Structure 1
Amino acid sequence: MFFDKQNAVVKRIDLSSSDVLRSSDSLHISYGIDRNFLYGCGISIASILKNNTDINFVFHIFTDYFDDEWERLFKALAYQYNTSLVIYVVDCEQLKSLPSTKNWSYATYFRFIIADYFSNQLDKMIYMDADIMCQGSLNELLHVTFNGDEVAAVVPERDSVWWAKRADALGIPSIEKGYFNAGFLLINLENWSRLNISTKAMELLSQEEVKTKLSFLDQDILNMLLTGKVIYLDKKYNTQYSLNYELQKDKKENPITSSTILVHYIGPTKPWHEWANYETAKPFLDARAASPWRKVPLLKAKNSNHLRYCAKHFYHQKSYPLFLKMYLKYFYQKLF
Structure 2
Amino acid sequence: MSNSIEKKPITIVVASDNHFAILIAALLKSIDLNHKTDEHIDFYIIDDGISAKAKSRLETIADPSRITLKWFKSKEIIPADIVIPVDTTSMPLTTFLRIFAPYIIDPELDKLIYLDVDIILQDDISKFWNIPLGEYTVGAVQDYSKTVDCQWAGIPNYKELGLAPDTKYFNAGVLLMNPKKWREEKLTNQVITALIDYKDHVKMGDQYGLNVVLANKWLELDPKWNWFALYEDEKPYLVHFVEIKPIFSNYHFKEVYKQEFFRYLAMTPWKNFKPLSGKWRMFRKLVNKIKKALLRL
TM-score by length of 1: 0.71
CA distance in 2, matches of 1:27, 1:282: 27
CA distance in 1, matches of 2:236, 2:156: 31
Give CA deviations for 1:261-298 in whole Å, capped at 9, x if unaligned.
1111111x211224548444122111112223213444
Q: Which moved more, 1:131-140 or 1:43-52?
A: 131-140
Which AA in structure 1 matches 2:213?
A: L
Query: Which of 212, 223, 247 is the matching residue for 1:272?
Result: 247
Which AA in structure 2 matches 1:62?
A: I
Whether contact under 8 Å (2:139, 2:176) holds in the other structure is yes
Give CA deviations for 1:180-204 in whole Å, capped at 9, x if unaligned.
0001100111111111101111222
Query: Which of 18, 24, 29 is the matching residue for 2:7?
Result: 24
Whether contact under 8 Å (2:141, 2:223) holds in the other structure is yes
Structure 1 equivalent of residue 222 of structure 2? 234
Which AA in structure 2 matches 1:291?
A: T
The yes-or-no answer on 1:65 pairing with 2:49 is: yes
RMSD over aligned Cα atoms:
2.8
Whether contact under 8 Å (1:31, 1:128) holds in the other structure is yes
The yes-or-no answer on 1:127 pairing with 2:114 is: yes
Q: How does 1:106-255 map to 2 (within 5 A)?
A: 106-118=93-105, 120-148=107-135, 150-158=136-144, 162-165=147-150, 166=154, 169-170=157-158, 171-172=160-161, 173=163, 176-207=166-197, 210-242=198-230, 255=231
Which AA in structure 1 matches 2:211?
A: N
Which AA in structure 1 matches 2:241?
A: Y
Whether contact under 8 Å (1:155, 1:238) holds in the other structure is yes
SS at match of 1:78: coil
Structure 2 equivalent of residue 50 of structure 1? 33
Q: 1:263 to 1:181 in 2, by over 3 A?
A: same
- Kindly state the Cα deviation for residue 238 of structure 1 after the two structures are TM-superposed: 0.7
Q: How does 1:80-119 map to 2 (within 5 A)?
A: 82-91=66-75, 98-101=85-88, 103-118=90-105
CA distance in 1, matches of 2:65, 2:251: 27
Which AA in structure 1 matches 2:232?
A: I
CA distance in 2, matches of 1:221, 1:299: 32
- Kindly state the Cα deviation for residue 307 of structure 1 after the two structures are TM-superposed: 9.6
CA distance in 1, matches of 2:139, 2:218: 6
The yes-or-no answer on 1:263 pairing with 2:263 is: no
- Kindly state the Cα deviation for residue 167 of structure 1 after the two structures are TM-superposed: 5.1
Asked which structure has the greater CA Rg, the reply is 1
With CA pairs under 8 Å and 6+ residues apart, which has the higher RCO, 1 or 2? 2
Where in structure 2 are there 5+ consecutive unaligned residues? 1-5, 286-297
Matched positions, count: 269
CA distance in 2, matches of 1:136, 1:117: 26
Whether contact under 8 Å (2:98, 2:114) holds in the other structure is yes
CA distance in 2, matches of 1:178, 1:50: 33
CA distance in 2, matches of 1:39, 1:145: 31
SS at match of 2:60: helix
Q: 1:214 to 1:237 in 2, by over 3 A?
A: same
Whether contact under 8 Å (2:28, 2:62) holds in the other structure is no
TM-score by length of 2: 0.80
CA distance in 2, matches of 1:225, 1:60: 25
The yes-or-no answer on 1:305 pairing with 2:290 is: no
CA distance in 1, matches of 2:217, 2:118: 26
Structure 2 equivalent of residue 7 of structure 1? none
CA distance in 2, matches of 1:291, 1:32: 19
Whether contact under 8 Å (2:45, 2:70) holds in the other structure is yes
Hey, which of these two has a bigger chunk of helix by percent? Answer: 1
Q: How does 1:291-330 map to 2 (within 5 A)?
A: 291-300=268-277, 303=280, 305=282
Which AA in structure 2 matches 1:69?
A: K
- Kindly state the Cα deviation for residue 128 of structure 1 after the two structures are TM-superposed: 0.5
SS at match of 1:190: helix
SS at match of 1:200: helix
CA distance in 2, matches of 1:102, 1:275: 21
SS at match of 1:48: helix
